[in-house]
Structures are given as C-alpha cells and as structure tokens.
Amino acid sequence: MAQKPVIELEGIRRDFVVGEETVHALRGVSFTIHEGEFVTIMGTSGSGKSTLLNILGCLDTPTSGEYRLDGIPVRTMSKTQRAVLRNRKIGFVFQSYNLLAKTTAVENVELPLMYNSEVGSRERRERAVTALQRVGLGDRLNHKSNQMSGGQMQRVAIARALVNDPAVILADEATGNLDTRTSFEILVLFQQLHAEGRTIIFVTHNPEIAQYSTRTITLSDGKLREDRMNDTILNAADKLATLPVEEE
Amino acid sequence: MNITNLFKIALKAIGANKMRSFLTMLGIIIGVSSVIIMLALGTGSKATIMQEIEGVDPGALNVIPGPSYEDIDGNWLPEYSQTITQADYQSILEKNKYLKAICPMVYTSGQFINGKNNHSGSVQGVNNEFLDINGLSISQGDMFTDPEVKGASKVCILGKTVVDKLFPNEADPIGAVIRINSIPVRVVGVLKSKGRTAFGQDQDDIVLMPYTTVMKRMISQDYFDMIYVAATSKEMASLAKQDLTEILRENHKLREGDIQDFRVNSLEEATSMVDSVMNVLTLLLSCIAGISLLVGGIGIMNIMYVSVTERTREIGLRMSVGARTVDIMSQFLIEAILISVTGGLIGVLIGSGISYLARFVLLNFTEYHILISVEPWTVLLSFAICTITGIFFGWYPAKKAANLDPIDALRYE
Ligand SMILES: Nc1ncnc2c1ncn2[C@@H]1O[C@H](COP(=O)(O)OP(=O)(O)O)[C@@H](O)[C@H]1O
Ligand SMILES: [Mg+2]
C-alpha cells in the first residue's frame, strides 16, 4: 500500500484546565491514517474521542504533539488559517445534524462553499445539488430542515460534508440520534462513500458499527489502547436487508 | 463570505423575528423621525424669516423714539414717542459717516376713497430712499421724486391690495386722484406685490406718501415715528449704529448715565439673533433626538446579544465549516446596521410625511406660512447616523459572536 498519509499524529496531548485541576483528555496519541481508509474510533464515554476528533477537525489545537493534515502542520497555525483549512479539507457530520433552521436542504449544503470565495454562486448551487443527489435527496432540494426526518437531515449534513470535496470526513456519533434501521441506512451511505475512495473517520461507542469499517482505533482514558485493521468487513447493505421495515 | 450573502443572511434573521426586529427599530424610528421633523421645522422657519427680509438692504438700521423697555421698567410716557425730531434728521444728514441712505418716516392711518370704492389702512410718510432700504420696487408708474417730497406734493404710491380694493375693474390707477382722509391725492405708482408674511400680515396693504405731505397736510406732526437708514455695507452696520447713537446723544444732550431716549436697531443684529436662537433650538432638539437614538442603539445592542446567544450553535456550525472571525463579525454587524438603517428609513419616511403634512396644513389652513422643508442633507445625515449607530452598538455583540469557541458553540444547548 503506497497510499499517501492524510492524518499524521505524533504524541498528541490535550489538557483542560478546570479551576485548580487539569484534565488530561488525551495523553500522547500517535497514529497515521492514509487516504481511503474508513476508521472507527471507539472508546467509552469520556475516553477522549470527541477531543481527538475536534483536534483532527482543526476546531481545537493540541497542548503538545504534532499534527499534520494532508501534509500541512496544523499546530502552529493561526485561528484564521485553521478556519480556511477546515473549509477546504474537512467535512464534519455531527450527532445532532446542526442544520440551519428554516433553511432549505440545498442552502444548507451550500454553506461551506459560501465561505470559499473561489466558488461562484452557479458552481456552488451545482455542487450542492450534486452532493444532495449523491446522498439520495435529489428530490428534496428545497425541503426545509424542519420538514425532514432525522435520517434525511443527517443525509443533508453528509451532503454538506461532501460538498467541498474534503480530504477527510469526520463524523462524531453520526448515528447516535437515529433508530437502528436509519442508522444502517446512513452506514450504507458511508460505506458507499468509502468505496468511492473517501477517507472517513467515524467516532462511535457502539462496537457493532466498528465491524463495517476497515480499521478500529480504541481509546481508553486518553490513550490509544488498540489499533487494529479489520480482516472481515461486514456489508451494511446486507444487514439493512435483514432489518424489519418499520410501519409508518 | 461576500457582502450580498451577508445581507441575505441578515435579512433572513430579521425576517425570522419580524415583531422583535420592528420593536427594536422603534427607538431608531422615533429618533430619526424627530430629527427629520425638527430639522425641517428649523430650516423651514429660518428660510421663511430670510425670505421675509429678502431684498432689504443688509446694512439696514432703524432709529426708533423712546428708551428701551428695560431702561424704564416698562413705564412708557407719551413724550417718549416724540424724541426723534426734525433736528435729529438734519444732524444725521450732515454728520453721518457710514450711511448711504436715510429715510424719515411718519405713520398714520387713513380712509382711502375712489368713487364708490373705499378701503382703510395705514399710510407711511417717507422719502424716495424708502424703497431701496426696504427692498421694495415699483411695478407700475414711478416713485415720487425729490422735488415732490420737498414740495409736500399730494402724491401717493399704492400697494397691490389697496389697488385691488380701490380699482376693482382693473382700471389703470396711475394718474387717478383718490381721497385720503378727504384730501385729494394723485396716484403716481404701484408697489410690486410682496404677499403675506409668515405670520399672515398683508405686506401689500400699504400706502406711501412724501413724509412732508403727511406731516404738513394730514396730521401736523413735527416729530418722526422712525428713521430708516442703510449703512454703506453689512459690515459697516455696527459702526453706523455707533455713529448714529453718538450723533443723537449729542443732539439730545445726554450725559453718561442718562436714560437714552431713542434706540438704534440693525437688521444684522436681528438676523444674527434669529440665527443664534435657531442654532440653540436646533442644538437642543438634536440633543433630544440624540438621546432617543442612543436609547434605540442600546435596544439594538440588547437584541443583538439575544440574537447571538440564540444562534450560538449556528455560529459554531458556521465556524466548523470554515467561517473566519471576520465572517462572523461582519454577519452580525451587518444585521445590526440593517436593523438600524431600516429603522432610519422608516423614520425618514414618517418624519418627512409628518413634515410635509404640517407644511400643507400650515399653508392651507392657518396664517402661519412657514415653509417646512426636508433638506436632502438631513436625510443623508440620518442614514449616516444610523449606520454609525448600527456599527457602534452592534460591535460588541458581533465581537462576542466572533470570539466564541467553535466547540463550545456547537455544544451549546
Ligand atoms: N472543554 C473541556 N473542558 C474541560 N474538560 C473537558 C473539555 N472537553 C472534554 N473534557 C474532558 O475530557 C475528557 C474527554 O472528553 P471527550 O473527548 O468529550 O470524551 P468522549 O467523546 O470520548 O466521550 C472528559 O473527561 C471530559 O470531561
Ligand atoms: Mg463525545
């Protein structure tokens, strides 16, 4: 495998000072993720998963350690530089969707491109429509966020994460608010995106989901406890077929 | 993010809370509409006063008999009306250093009769320098001449209203002989119409005659009711006033500390007094308007803080997809400016509406013909002030939004 590294972490530490105490959320985490990997990050609640993902997504900076995203060292960057980096290289999917209220699907998906002055309004609209078609919402472009189900909203969020053609898609408990069937529908989508060559990092505390990714990194108390390539990767679409269709 | 999109976001945010936005604007609306109305009234009154004295010699002065009311505690004695004498007029003629025109005036009322038509009004006995000093001119015929003044000729000049009353069939008044207090007088000229004053007084209801004629043939009075003079220029008016005062004090043998039994008023002083009264008034009203804008601005600041708090998660999301500090900052600043400027726009419309309504009512239903007018610069000023208000009061809420930590903001419940 001569894939190029997308994420390189060396001795990442993150301390939070809360009053008199210091919380060591990450205590020296190192790993490398290559292009095209589908990585799940596992661990119990409070193990540091979200803290790690925030650092990967350039929303937060490590207290110490080195982080290179797509070859670019992030630690020394200014706030503005990190904002631009997020805009061009990162796609976020959140547990709670975080769509703009009373705003159509296509406008929600356009949002990252709004902050990219290189993309004109025509191209922005076209790319948003393409991304929505990709997640199966080609017929719901002008539905407002409050007129959609949870699964549909998360699809819009995924389209929004895709629209800037990011180096990596970061998902934090992206299926956490969804029922089993809808969760698997979303998982099918992630597997498809992976099959198309996307790099995905998926944070979850649900061990079942890890079986559908190519690699599982397990955190425990801020440290990397296990980093394992998955030999047998299950197909989410197969699993979805076995699930009972819920009555409307 | 480009400015058009920022405006769209701001409009959407304002539209999402229409009632709240409107209530926030109310302070600005009241502030701006009062600024507009006050300035329209101020400039209108000033323009009206200026229009009234238009044409009057800028160096005009009046010499009036009697002391000022302050000097005599309001105890006016009949002899005070008789202190400007023929001798005074002669002295002024001989000794003045800064005057270009001098016109003594006597005043009486009269009954004017032309055949079956009659009218009563006032007669001013003057000389032929009266017109220049007071910015009047003849529209028909001629002013009476110097020899006619010297010879106390029975001639007169009529104002338009008097002509209309005495010659209703548009007959030519020039050369006609009318009776004024039963003395036959020949009409030699008609004054150009000046219309009414802002306070409803008819300036065309006037008859001019040589002062000599009035004094000798009509009222046998040997003192003047006033002397109109004009200094050589506006700048010379105050010197001329001093000069006139000295001449008359000498004539009246007044010593230091004696009550001065005459007054000299200058147009220049009167207009600068009007000016300063207007300026003080404008300043006062601007302060009131300023305070209401301040209150309005604080309202905007308050609602912007609410807006930032309500949209904390949205801010976090925008940051996570790449919004920079400056993007968030401008988004909220533009929202604040838009609220303020929209309030300003409504304020300008309401203010102008009320101003022109007041103008219409004053012109058509009252005698106070004040030409209230909304000057373009006041509108521009209002918008400038609103923009500044928006920036000033939006700054801290916008800064608060831009400085949010994206992670905390995303987690905000
Ligand atoms: N902003 C913060 N301030 C203080 N402590 C924090 C902060 N963020 C996370 N932590 C602490 O860091 C640890 C890891 O948290 P987190 O990364 O959210 O865990 P996970 O996502 O795995 O549940 C927890 O003990 C949490 O309380
Ligand atoms: Mg978490």
- The mean pLDDT of chain B is 90
Sequence-separated (6 or more) residues with CB below 8 Å from residue A19:
none
* Distance from the alpha carbon of residue B348 to the mean position of ligand 1, in angstroms: 53
ipTM: 0.94
* Sheet with A168-172, side-by-side order of all strands: A90-93, A168-172, A200-203, A38-42, A215-220, A223-229
For residue A17, the ligand 1 atom closest to its alpha carbon is: 4
* Distance from the alpha carbon of residue A110 to the mean position of ligand 2, in angstroms: 27
Q: What is the mean pLDDT of residues B178-199?
A: 89
- A131 within 8 A of A109, measured Cβ to Cβ: yes
Sequence-separated (6 or more) residues with CB below 8 Å from residue B184:
B154, B177, B178
Q: What is the mean pLDDT of residues B186-196?
A: 90
- B220 within 8 A of B393, measured Cβ to Cβ: no
CA distances A36 to A17, A31, A197, B47, B128, Å, are 36, 15, 5, 79, 106
Sign for the pseudo-dihedral over CA of A160, A162, A165, A170: positive
Query: Which residue of chain B is at minimal alpha-carbon distance from A57?
Result: B320
SS3 assignment, position B125: strand
Taking contacts as CB-CB distances below 8 angstroms, the residues of chain A near B319 are: 59, 83, 86
Q: What is the mean pLDDT of residues B288-316?
A: 91
Q: Which letter, b or e, does each residue of B258-273 get, where b requires 16 or more Cβ atoms within 10 Å of its Cβ?
A: eebbbbbebbbeebee
Task: Look at the block and give the residue holding tokens 């992206």.
Answer: A174
Question: Residue B281's pLDDT is what?
Answer: 82
Q: What is the mean pLDDT of residues B125-129?
A: 93
Q: Predicted confidence band at B367 (pLDDT cuts at 50, 70, 90)? A: confident
SS (H, E, C) B278-331: HHHHHHHHHHHHHHHHHHHHHHHHHHHHHHHHHCHHHHHHHHHCCCCHHHHHHH
The amino acid at residue B290 is G
DSSP string, B390-408: HHHHHHHHHHHHHTS-HHH
Residue B34 clears pLDDT 60, i.e. is over it: yes
Q: Phi, psi (5° rounding) for residue B338?
A: -65, -40
- B234 within 8 A of B33, measured Cβ to Cβ: no
Residue B340 clears pLDDT 90, i.e. is over it: yes
SS3 assignment, position B24: helix
B254 burial via Cβ count (<10 Å: 0-12, 13-18, 19+): middle
Tell me the C-alpha distance between B192 and B53, whole Å.
15
Q: What is the mean pLDDT of residues B278-304?
A: 86
Strand extents, DSSP E, B28-150: 60-65, 99-114, 117-126, 138-141
Neighbours of B295 (CB within 10 A): 14
Every domain of chain B and the residues it spans: 3-53+272-411, 60-266
pLDDT tens-digit map of B76-95? 888 888 999 999 999 999 99
In terms of DSSP bridges, do strands A38-42 and A215-220 run parallel, antiparallel, or are they unpaired?
parallel
CB contact under 8 A, B324 and A60: no
Residue B126 clears pLDDT 60, i.e. is over it: yes
Every domain of chain A and the residues it spans: 36-54+90-238
Sequence-separated (6 or more) residues with CB below 8 Å from residue B227:
B62, B63, B84, B88, B89, B92, B102, B103, B104, B105
Residue B161 clears pLDDT 70, i.e. is over it: yes
CB contact under 8 A, A83 and B317: no
Question: Residue B244's pLDDT is what?
Answer: 93
Token pair for B29: 């609306």
Tell me the C-alpha distance between A47 and A50, whole Å.
9
Q: What is the mean pLDDT of residues B347-369?
A: 90
Nearest CA, atom 3, ligand 1 = A16
In what helix (H) or strand (E) does residue B186 lie, and over which residues does it extend? Answer: strand B183-191
- B28 within 8 A of B186, measured Cβ to Cβ: no
Tell me the C-alpha distance between A49 and A41, whole Å.
7
- A51 within 8 A of A60, measured Cβ to Cβ: yes
pLDDT > 90: percent of chain B: 59
pLDDT tens-digit map of B254-281? 888 888 899 999 888 888 888 888 888 8
Tell me the C-alpha distance between A42 and A209, whole Å.
10
Taking contacts as CB-CB distances below 8 angstroms, the residues of chain B near A174 are: none
B residues 20-79 near A, CB within 8 Å?
none
Q: Phi, psi (5° rounding) for residue A220?
A: -145, 120
Q: Which CATH number fits domain A36-54+90-238: 1.20.1250.20, 3.30.420.40, 3.40.50.720, 3.40.50.300?
A: 3.40.50.300
Instruction: Give per-10-residue mean pLDDT for chain A (248 aa).
Output: 86 94 96 96 94 95 94 90 95 94 94 94 96 94 93 96 95 92 94 95 92 96 95 92 76
Nearest to B100 by CA among B259, B307, B243: B243
Question: Residue B366's pLDDT is what?
Answer: 81
CA B360 to chain centre: 17
Tell me the C-alpha distance between B287 and B280, whole Å.
11
Question: Residue B162's pLDDT is what?
Answer: 94
Pocket test for ligand 1, best of A29, A41, A51, A173 (most atoms within 8 A of CB): A51
Q: Which ligand is the nearest neighbour of the Cα of A45?
A: 1
pLDDT tens-digit map of A142-195? 999 889 999 999 999 999 999 999 999 999 999 999 999 999 999 999 999 999
CA end-to-end span of chain B: 26
Residue B45 clears pLDDT 70, i.e. is over it: yes
Taking contacts as CB-CB distances below 8 angstroms, the residues of chain B near A116 are: 322
Taking contacts as CB-CB distances below 8 angstroms, the residues of chain B near A79 are: 324-325
Sign for the pseudo-dihedral over CA of B83, B87, B91, B94: positive
In what helix (H) or strand (E) does residue A228 lie, and over which residues does it extend? Answer: strand A223-229
